[in-house]
Structure 1
Amino acid sequence: MADYLKLFQDSLKGLDTKFAGNQILSRIEAQTKLPRSYVIVGLVAVYFLLIFINVGGIGEILSNFVGFCIPTYYSLKALKTATSTDDTQLLTYWIVFSFLSVIEFWSKAILYWVPFYWFFKTVFLLYIAIPSFGGAQLVYTRLISPFSDKYLPIVEGKSGELAQKVEAAANNAKASGYSR
């Protein structure tokens, strides 16, 4: 137990160090006489509490905000790196996030009745968004990849046929004198 307490205290010290130059947190620290790490932990706790309680439907927007902002930050950082490892992880995240969004859109009436759905969704999004957890890769490998491996060749074949038909129709229209 003492090890966890020390780890937590070290994490708080790390937050204090990381946000040492933040003027807003400095003002709050001066007014409240609390270390800035306590303020950060408190704000995060309130954020999750609002999602958990979901007063006025705010849980949905806060959950989607987390699901968009954190991966966007990592994506912008990944664009500036030379390796493709982080790109792969983030592309996997965005595939999982998109898949979840589509499923959620069509089942929103059912999800409305699931208690604390937005809280669990937020935790799940954090799990798949933060690269060190590797959650996006796991979800993709176990759930989405088997589905896409089965149906992607069919979609690719049909899209090729469709492209040929569109091209033929365009050529026919052009040959018959159609112009804009």
Structure 2
Amino acid sequence: MHIHVFVKFPLTVQATSGIQVLQLFEAQTGLPRSYAVIVGVAVYFVIIFLNLAGVGQLLSNIAGFVVPCYYSLLALETTTTSDDTALLTYWVVFAFLNVIEFWSRAILYWIPFYFLFKTIFLLYIGVPAFGGAQLVYVNLIKPFSRAYIVKNKSLSKTVDEVAEGVSSAVEL
């Protein structure tokens, strides 16, 4: 049994036709623009893999922000809500991951190639066609959310009161 997955990526021939660097590459080498994109992606991942001067963390966060941001901007222009829900789910998972990462940074420092794995994971959950964010949300965050936030009305009330206090203090 074979399962085929078709993913629509934004870097099609038409999408790259207006990028000057890729046009210059194609004109000077006679090679397709896609080769330059592939080499650029490979170099990007090698830099993350090596994590020289801590730049792996920055590049990992850029990948986790730029790709979903692109899809979010596209989703804002559509009239359907399914893509909005998928991307909102991504941003919840992304925020959850960042909070966990912040509190466990000392431990994560010792995991080899952590930022490479994180980048691959962020791309998996960030591209809506993969459905990774939905999977993570349903299996990890939703049970936690239901147990501690949705069912706990006093917590919601406390958060609302604190937010109201902060906004009224800002207005003074």
Which residue matches 1:103?
100
Give the greater-gyration-radius structure (CA). Answer: 1
CA contact (8 A) 2:149 2:156 kept: no
Corresponding pairs, count? 156
How far residue 17 of structure 1 moved from its aligned partner, in angstroms, is 5.2
C-alpha offsets along residues 27-86 of structure 1, whole Å, 9 cap, x if unaligned? Answer: 122223332111110001000110111111110000000101111111111111111101
One-letter code aligned to 2:46: L
Change (3 A) 1:84 1:163: closer
Q: Secondary structure at the match of 1:132?
A: helix
Matching of residues 1-180 of structure 1 within 5 Å: 15-16=12-13, 18-153=15-150, 155-160=152-157
Structure 1 runs not aligned, ≥5 long: 1-10, 168-179
Moved over 4 A (4+): 14-18, 161-167
Structure with more contact order per residue of length (Cα contacts < 8 Å, sep ≥ 6): 2
One-letter code aligned to 1:121: K
How many percent of aligned residue pairs carry the same amino acid? Answer: 56
Change (3 A) 1:163 1:24: closer
TM-score (norm 2): 0.81
Greater displacement, 152-161 / 105-114: 152-161
CA RMSD of aligned residues (A): 2.5
TM-score (norm 1): 0.78
Change (3 A) 1:26 1:164: closer
Which residue matches 1:3?
none
